[in-house]
């Protein structure tokens, strides 16, 4: 049996994307080696422990400066020997040296259809703009905030009467399908980072794959 891709997950909150990734791991070709959070009270840490996954908190306030915290975070991640580092609601901006350390094997999921609405409060911004659709994007992480090469997206409609809460819940449901699929592509060797671009099945992605293009086995047609 082929070995599974070891994955490290960074999170700051409830850990719903961690749960989705963990649930898909047995058939996705990867295993979650450990979870690290910047917040000791993050519910995602307890969710990880309940699944028997090593979970650690590294509060930034316990370190003299950002560089020291980043060094401790990198040491904790490296001890897990991951082939991929996954940001799953990790709310701290990572420093350029940290990002460079894991270049090409660092993924993030962002709750918008990038390049629209990088940063925070995406659901509110979509509602204020009157957009007809919203969604989520998985991308490789670079030192540009939410600006790394996009890999795949899931779209959801914005419905009449939507609030930030209802729209957020709909997007999260899409995230929980999208993220495990993309991690599975990486684990299978289908997804790669080359020359600053995302490649899938041996071709550079000119546009992100759309979730509706994925089949139930995790396959995908390239976006046009």
Give the DSSP H/E element, type plus range, for residue 191: strand 191-194
Q: Is 58 helix (H, G, I), strand (E, B) or coil?
A: coil
Helix runs in 102-139, H state only: 122-129
* Nearest one of 198, 187, 212 to 86, comparing CA atoms: 187
Strands 150-157 and 133-140, how do they pair? antiparallel
The residues that are catalytic are 110
Q: Is 66 helix (H, G, I), strand (E, B) or coil?
A: helix
Relative to beta strand 30-37, strand 5-11 is parallel
* Separation between Cα atoms, residue 158 and residue 131, nearest integer Å: 7
Report yes or no: 61 and 68 within 8 Å, Cβ to Cβ: no
Q: What's the token pair of residue 94?
A: 């990572």
Token pair for 147: 């600006």
């Amino acid at each position: 049996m082929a070995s599974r891709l070891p994955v490290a997950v960074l999170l700051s909150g409830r850990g719903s994307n961690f749960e989705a990734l963990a649930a898909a791991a047995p058939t996705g070709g990867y295993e979650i080696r450990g979870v690290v959070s910047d917040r000791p009270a993050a519910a995602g840490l307890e969710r990880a422990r309940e699944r028997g996954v090593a979970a650690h908190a590294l509060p930034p306030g316990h370190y003299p400066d950002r560089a020291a915290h980043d060094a401790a975070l990198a040491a904790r991640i490296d001890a897990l020997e991951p082939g991929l580092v996954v940001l799953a609601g990790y709310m701290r901006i990572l420093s350029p040296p940290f990002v460079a350390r894991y270049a090409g094997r660092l993924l993030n999921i962002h709750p918008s259809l990038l390049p629209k609405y990088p940063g925070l409060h995406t659901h509110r911004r979509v509602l204020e703009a009157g957009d007809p659709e919203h969604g989520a994007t998985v991308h490789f992480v670079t030192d540009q905030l939410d600006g790394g090469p996009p890999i795949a997206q899931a779209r959801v409609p914005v419905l009449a009467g939507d609030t930030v809460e209802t729209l957020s819940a709909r997007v999260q449901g899409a995230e929980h399908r999208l993220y495990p699929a993309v991690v599975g592509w990486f684990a299978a060797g289908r997804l790669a980072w080359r020359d600053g671009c995302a490649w899938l099945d041996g071709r550079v992605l000119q546009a992100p794959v759309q979730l509706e293009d994925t089949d139930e086995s995790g396959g995908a047609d390239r976006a046009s």
